């Protein structure tokens, strides 16, 4: 592979591999966990799915629940440093 790929291309390959894996993860997650996606033939036959609790579970996942308890700051330490009067 050293003959075909130059060493300066490795960071680009790493970034593209990372982004491709994120896309594959998100597509797989939506395909299997999203209540709006209907893979099962019985669910496809129904016009409207009655799955409010499943949709609520999908929308209110653990990361979102955790972030609700956190202050909406990107860098709280730097914000406190510059906002506090000494």
pLDDT in tens, 62-75: 888 898 898 888 88
Which of these, 15, 58, 17, lies nearest to 37 by C-alpha position?
58
pLDDT in tens, 14-46: 999 999 999 999 999 888 888 777 777 776 777
Looking at the predicted structure, is the pLDDT value of residue 49 above 70? no
86/22 Cα distance (integer angstroms): 44
Residue 57: what pLDDT?
A: 81
Q: Considering the entire predicted model, what is its pTM?
A: 0.54
User: Would you say 49 and 35 are in contact if contact means Cβ atoms under 8 Å apart?
Assistant: yes
């Amino acid at each position: 592979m050293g003959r075909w790929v130059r060493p300066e291309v490795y960071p680009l390959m790493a970034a593209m591999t990372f982004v491709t894996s994120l896309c594959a993860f998100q597509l797989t997650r939506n395909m299997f966990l999203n209540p709006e996606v209907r893979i099962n033939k019985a669910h496809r036959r129904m016009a409207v799915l009655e799955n409010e609790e499943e949709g609520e579970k999908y929308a209110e996942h653990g990361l979102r629940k955790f972030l609700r308890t956190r202050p909406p700051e990107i860098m709280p330490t730097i914000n406190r440093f510059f906002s506090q009067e000494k």
